[in-house]
Amino acid sequence: MEISGNTAFYAGLSSIQSGQNRVDQAASQIANTTIERSVTSQSSEVQVNRLRGVDRAQESDLTSNIVELSQGKTQAELGVKVAKASDEVLGTIIDTFA
């Protein structure tokens, strides 16, 4: 029996990597938003928004970034479970045929 690339294992690893990328991107955007807010904290937020032309959609970006952060975490955790399950199944198959 020849065992070539275990697709379930690689799918798990891919999911981990995608989840990590999602977490990195969301965390970076949250950090940028936090830095912008701390710089402009001396002015009222209404004045700053008026000067920058910020609309309500941009204000909700923080919320969507936090959701993306949570989704990335969940995606990475599920990828780990898939990779572990695939590894256990492969070990069982090898033990059975050895």
Share of the chain above pLDDT 70, in %: 59
Whole-number pLDDT of residue 14: 93
Higher pLDDT, 68 or 90: 68
Evaluate whether 87 touches 8 at the Cβ level (below 8 Å).
no
Q: Which sequence spans correspond to the domains of the chain?
A: 8-97
Distance (Å, rounded) from C-alpha 19 to C-alpha 79? 8
Taking only the tens place, the pLDDT of each residue in 56-67 is 555 568 889 999
Whether the full predicted model's pTM is greater than 0.75, yes or no, is: no
Name the residue with tokens 């990328």. Answer: 21
Taking only the tens place, the pLDDT of each residue in 26-52 is 999 888 876 665 555 555 666 666 666
Whole-number pLDDT of residue 30: 84
Nearest to 16 by CA among 97, 76, 66: 76
